[in-house]
Structure 1
Amino acid sequence: MIKSANQYPVHTLFSHEGNVLYRIPPYQREYSWYKAQWENLFEDLIEADGAHFLGTIITLDQTTDTLEGNILHVVDGQQRLTTLTLLLAAVYSVLKEHIDELDDDTRTDVTNLGRQLVRKADQQPRVTPQKQGHNLFDYLKTLEDAGLPVEGEWKPYYPSRRIAKCYRYFRSAILKLAETEGLTETKAALRVHEAALRAVIVKIEVASHADAFVLFESLNNRGMPLSPVDLIKNHLLAESEKRQIMNVDQAFKHWNDMLTSLGDSYSTQERFLRHYYNAFKTELPDVPNASVATKSNLIRIYEKLLEQDLKKVVDALVEASKIYGRINCVVELDQPTSLDRAFQRLMRAQGAPSYVLLMWLMTKQEELELCDTQIEAVADRLTSFFVRRNLTGYPPTYALAKLFMTTIDAVSDARGDDVLKLVGEKLNAVSASDEEFRARLLGRIYEENTDVARFVLTTLAEDAMTKETKVDLWRQEKNHFVWTIEHILPQGENLPAAWQEMLGGKEVAAQVQEEHRHRLGNLTVTAYNSNLGNKSFIEKRDRRDSKGRYIGYKNGLSLNAELAARESWTADNIEARTKVLAERVIERFPLA
């Protein structure tokens, strides 16, 4: 079944001297990774102590003409390979922009990088996606935009699709790395370049498609490999019994108590273990070469901690997990306090990186002379910070752990309101300005970050509710939100005739749609908006459900009051509403 299975660094898989090409078979799905996965890859590469492990790919040798080169079909791993080459293309483009500043050896490295991405002999890309969803066209156009010697073709909505957005994300991430770390753009690009090329992949080569599918099914159905959380648990059980601190049953009960507070999500459990070390690092036994807990050093950190003071560490983890579970809203409370509602807002604003700070503050609450109202004020300030951060991308993800650890250090000697003041100063120092925040709010916010768009819109709607008009905009049915973002001017192609006529004809309507459809002013919140779709503005405004209740823009939300009174919807209307909503969002989520 398996012809070979070997571990290779990326620079070997994509050798500039090699003749290997990787092709994605037509039956594979289109490129589907999102921003969260791009962020994780970038963060993992630059944080790795050594060579970051990128996982396994399964390939099938489909070479028919040896003169053409070694053609490998990628049966599993196309998302990683495509993303990796887009990252390297972003590195290449940044270095090419500064080529005159580079020494001869580095210029040679840039030339070799180009040949790792595009074969010198015939200008074929090393990785060739399939055509579904314009993947191939978008990929070639992106490589061309990066300055590589391929001919691309621009297809409608190219900038809005994932391949182009992935490339732009990595270019932006490299430039932000330079800004954050005080590096030149070339040094930041070279740092990413080195980390990517030394990362390793296990390449499994099989003999036939049948073997490939059997192996693929086996690897994906036999269960997940042991996670760091599992390995830390096993080390706890083994060490506890070996050193006769607790028997296995007792140790397992402690561990389960911790997991009960944290819930079933592995990502929450793993994040808690990182956050616990980062929050209380100065009080824990010393772990050499571990200034901050990351995914790559987490196992080593807890092996060391448990070896030195197992019972004390486990007891502390159990107590801290109760606080962390409350911050993370693991249990839905029947009567949440005002503080619990603040935690809920922070969670919905994707503020999980700040839980390290809140866990420390709540653990030290009495010592710091903080009341719940003051902690609530911190949580609300963090919510504003993350609304801005998640839309602007600044500060970058990899800088957040250091930010909150230094914030803990800064407030450790403060008391009461001084804690709030110092937290605010630390956040303000790195937050996006009102000007940059406004620029993003005035742009295509739905493309930039759909979750932020939904959060700010629902918050504005909730702020205007009374007890009589209160509606749960976060209610779910079958794991989907009932209330979702609605594009007033539809976002889909084939705009109906009623819209074309309203906007001034087919060509003008298409231009208005392309420019304005994803802007804040064209977005609102409705329930069951699949019932609205591409309907005319009037139909959307007056739409009712089978029971006669309004589900269109007359649904009673303050956010829709203006829409409910309108007879038409044009580019000028979108522009005006965007400006108004942007100012309301800036006021609602202030810097201080």
Structure 2
Amino acid sequence: MSKLNIDQKTVKELFSAKKTKFLIPDYQRPYAWGEDECQTLWEDLFNFSFPENNCDNFDSESDEYFLGPIVTFKNDKGDMEIIDGQQRLTTLMLLLRAFYDKFKNMKDDKSEKTREQIEACIWKTDEFGYVNTEELKINSEVATDKDKDEFLEILRTGDVTKGKSSYAKNYKFFQDKIKEFTEEYVSYTPLLPLRIMQNCILLPIEAESQDTALRIFSTLNDRGKPLSDADIFKAQFYKYYSDKGEKESFIEKWKALEVLCNSIFPSSSGSALDEIFTRYMYYERAKQGIKQTTTEALRKFYERDGYKLLKNDETFENLIDLANFWNDIYDQNVERFSEDVLKRLYVLNYAPNGMWTYFVSVYYIANRDAEGMLDDNEFYNFLSKITAFIWAYAVTNPGVNALRTPLYPEMINVVNKQPVKFEEFLFSPEQLENKFRNFDFKNQRPITKSMLTWWAFQEPEQECLPLEKTIEIEHIYPRNRQKIEQGLTNPNNMESLGNKSILEKKINIRASDYRFSDKIKYYQGFTTNKGKKEGTAIKELINLSKSVTDFSETDIGQRETKIILEFIEYLKDNGLLKN
């Protein structure tokens, strides 16, 4: 069990302890507090120290103000690496330095005593208590913070005449606030910093390792953004490129990669950069011949052998290249991909799970040429085969993680330049047809929209749709019609694949409650006094609306049979059926 040292301390006790040396490590994010946060902190501290604007309402023996936890661990050099509390500690240091600047030339006893206490919080002292103004109690190595040296210089000298960083702006903010305060409360000037140092409480939580500290932070902090795996990886790259004398170049490339990933990957949790590391991990797993379906945590994978993978140029360049590849996919770049390939990629975007993105990432890294291009015909065939397999497997083996078993060996085949065959997982046509006919294609199941998207794009004339356009599931024979007329002898046919199609959201909203004869104008488009209403881009629905005036239960059954049999034929064309 991990050991923790937890001991509530005042700002003075924590900051002025002789052995205290805080380190903001290289993997942390840059300082982000602005004037709003500083204003809130100042108001909170002032209202606590001077209740109701009255100095005498404060009880120095019992009043306390809790500033929050500070999560750290002691690194190999004995420094306390800050995992949680970076923004708070940094701002408190700037505030104390601004107070010190105010008191440094005051000669009265109270001001001198206050100044001495502040000094001990900012700088190291020797065994006699003398301050060494060259050795600060805090240091920053944040890889992507170009202003960290300015922060340290402010603490050393108090000079911000040329500073434009957040550190300088916040320091000036506190200087202005302190000036206003001292002008209004002349005789009580030393009391505010003293009450901040002696009565404001922090909860330092010292973990025995970085991993433990990160877990504690994730558990405690539901408001801040926890450090991602990519933040840790950045630190390893930073050290590697710094040793090569390429620090600035790395920082520039990393920032560009971060911007790119944030633009293409959703990041509801963690970091968008984690996604590109995950996709690349599957390529490295495949190179190592790993078939195990239990996928280890991202950080555990990359930290093997002292983060060996992150200590070479190839990995970083591959990550950048892979991110650009996915950016071109999501941008539907016609200069990189043919129309046919883009259609296959569009369909895969509606796959029942995200495993396809890992498989395609492996394929790309393993098969790209020197210019980062793929053979268009071979890529098209690969996309067709994995679409056929993933769709069929989702119906026959609907478990969330079931796809790992057949895909991992094929990833290994890809990196070894062997064809993708899924030889041990071929489908029986009869069993598959039976599965499809008895499968409940509810709208909530991802495979339902997957199948309908695949079917829509079996129409040769179907054009590729923009990925940002929202599509929904349309009931060609409307639900409301069944409620009113009871026209279907088998109500289950309402949810049959034969009665469903993809349709743009705006058109689906307008057409959902109408008879088929009334839907025709919405499918084809029509003109009103306010202008033209565009029809659907789904060619099958357009063609259907031009060939019939009604859509019956018989049509539902015939269309379902057609979809299922053509999908089985699609599997056959891709070599995925048993002989």
TM-score, normalising length from structure 2?
0.49
TM-score, normalising length from structure 1?
0.48
